[in-house]
Structure 1
Amino acid sequence: MKYPERIRCMIPDIEEAISKWPVDIEKDNVVNWILQFDNEDYDLGLRIIKNLNVIGPKDLEYSLEVAYSKLMRKAIEKGTSRVERILEQLLQGLNVKVTQYDNMQFCWRMDQDPEQYGEYRVAPADEEKRSMDDISPKEISNAIKAVVELQISLSRTDLIRETAKVFGFTRMGNIIKMSVNQGIKEALRRGWISLSDDGERVSLPVM
């Protein structure tokens, strides 16, 4: 295939990026995807390719959602409304469902029902942990449900700590606290937990 000059300059970077993916993708297919961009946006397409964590068969087996907004943060060094519009158009071209939490969007396969998703995954010790803000509040709420069912009642601080441990985290940072608190909101919405009047103690709901 004969590529435009700007694309030819990108070929080494494209080949290096796709060599790290856990699935086999033809280089020409990746190039054709970049060619969907306007000429001045080829660099944006390359940045997405270089920072994209491609979902492998194992992830598909576990039906894990993708944090779209994390892709946006990693793929763009300087965000603009034009760049956001481009990514929104790319998202619309995918066969996915989207759930929204504040400024975070999470993508799901079309054969998944986010409302019925009842699983959570703990990364094995020999694998890199997912960032907590890569995990949908729905998945976090599933872990919260399991923790509260085991503990019956515990402080909000202890719940955040125990939920973070489920996903392999032992230190509490702002991102972890924010993500688990989003999961607590989701667990409350789903009727799985109840909060004390001051919001500092979490228990199973009174039936």
Structure 2
Amino acid sequence: MKICILMGSPRLEGNTAALLKPFINELSLLGATVDYIPLFNKNLKECIECFSCQRVLDSPGCIIEDDMKEIYASVLSADCLVFATPIFTWFCTPGMKAVLDRLFSCSKKYSGRTEKPLLLEGKGIALLTTCGAEISEGSDLMETALKRLAEYAHLLFKGHFSLRDINGISDFTSAAAITAAKKFAHRILGQEAETRG
């Protein structure tokens, strides 16, 4: 199985990255191929809502020239997408929001047609977040957004794993955090989907 991890943190050695290390190691030990893409240093422009992508049925069709082209290639070749992000003001980071908006071009081709090609259909999707608030109040909106994307694009929602920052980086490198991250890797590869759109 190929897993595409889109990492939205601007801190490449921060909390989210620390939590991803045991997660990625466990995925690899379980035989998965991992494509890890930090978004912070990518040239990612925001969606301009031109709808050019809706006139191209067999590929994303986005006319914007930036690093999203390589992300599209990785996303389309993956079996499961993992969105990993710290929570900024109750949602994901700006780079990840740009990617989510641009993935609209792969989600559903609907403009003026009765048939709606779904380029992402059947892929798994999962969420890994870090936040400073209680999980139920810090990561809940991002989870809801991904579940709605799963329903819209006919993806399989594999779950959400989140840890709260109370004591800094030690919260994400503790034995308990490492064990939990490894368990989430098993869940991604072995658990039946929780939601099917």
TM above 0.5, yes or no, is: no
**Range class of TM-score, shorter chain:** under 0.3
Bigger Rg over Cα? 1
Q: Which has the higher contact order (CA 8 A, sep 6+)?
A: 2
Q: Tell me the TM-score normalized by structure 2.
A: 0.27
Q: Tell me the TM-score normalized by structure 1.
A: 0.26
More helix by share: 1
